Structure 1
Amino acid sequence: MRFWVNGEDVVEGAVEEGGRGALAAELLPVGRPSLLRATGEARPLELGEPECTGGCCGYLSVVVRRFGEVVQWSDWEVPYAPAPTPPEFHFEASQYDAEVARVEADLTWRAQP
């Protein structure tokens, strides 16, 4: 799973080449709300890991929280790499919620029996 903000792939820019984004099944569990949902409680979210695994060099993670009508992504942790830390992002909550709902409803990535 990749995350595009303002036309840029946030994972690719912060995880060493060969790394991976979060697995969709981890962020979009069946029968439960997505971990992408933002609430008033700050919550860390793992978005990717380097090729050598997160256990070795760390994970790309961000803290997600809602402040009224704004969703904030901040307090980034970046795997050991020369890449710069992504900036803090602010999203209009209604647009953010709509995009998360769209992703939750799109099940085309799941394996079909």
Structure 2
Amino acid sequence: MFDRLEVRVLPPGRRFAAQMRFLVNGEDVVESAVGEGGRGPYAADVLPADGPSSLRATGEPRRVELGEPECTGGCCGFLSVVVQRFGGIVQWSDWEVPYMEMRPLELHFDADQYDAELARAEADRSWQVHT
């Protein structure tokens, strides 16, 4: 059985630009790992207007930053994961977690569902503030 990814963009607030949240099987990965006051990466960094998401999975493993605690990643470390594609499976593994907390389990996504969710998130630019 595969895990299921849902990508959300939180609208910009007073303190931060629009940021990302990653729900896996309905659970917010960022909040679970860095706490309620933490934040995900900025949407503009993960979903650039001129290219694909940094979460796109290829056969080459790549470390991707998913969040940081309220005190900032420079203080306590970042939440990051290695993303890699193995045929029809996208794997998230080798977690780095702030505070040396327990690492999330390795996750395995159906590559078609994963790609479709990233394509949906890349196409939805409603979070961008127009001036």
Structure 1 runs of 4+ with >4 Å offset = none
Residue 3 of structure 1 is matched in structure 2 by: 22
Of 86, 98, 109, the match for 1:91: 109
TM-score, normalised via structure 2 length:
0.82
Q: Give the drift of 1:84.
A: 2.6
Cα deviation 1:3-38 (Å, max 9, x = unaligned): 000111111000033111111111011111110100
Paired with 1:110 and 1:85, the residues of 2 have a C-alpha distance of 32
Q: Which runs of 5+ in 2 are unaligned?
A: 1-19
Q: Which is worse superposed, 72-81 or 41-50?
A: 72-81
Paired with 2:99 and 2:35, the residues of 1 have a C-alpha distance of 8
Cα deviation 1:27-79 (Å, max 9, x = unaligned): 01111111010000000000000111111110000000000000000000001
> Any residues of structure 2 matched to 1:7-18 within 5 Å, and which?
7-18=26-37
Of 32, 35, 53, the match for 1:34: 53
TM-score, normalised via structure 1 length:
0.95
User: Identical aligned pairs, as a percentage?
Assistant: 70
Paired with 2:102 and 2:37, the residues of 1 have a C-alpha distance of 17
Matched residue type, 2:25: N
Q: Which is worse superposed, 69-78 or 26-35?
A: 26-35
Residue 12 of structure 2 is matched in structure 1 by: none
Residue 43 of structure 1 is matched in structure 2 by: 62
Paired with 1:44 and 1:85, the residues of 2 have a C-alpha distance of 15
Paired with 1:97 and 1:16, the residues of 2 have a C-alpha distance of 28
Q: Which runs of 5+ in 1 are unaligned?
A: none
Matched residue type, 2:87: G
Paired with 1:18 and 1:27, the residues of 2 have a C-alpha distance of 20
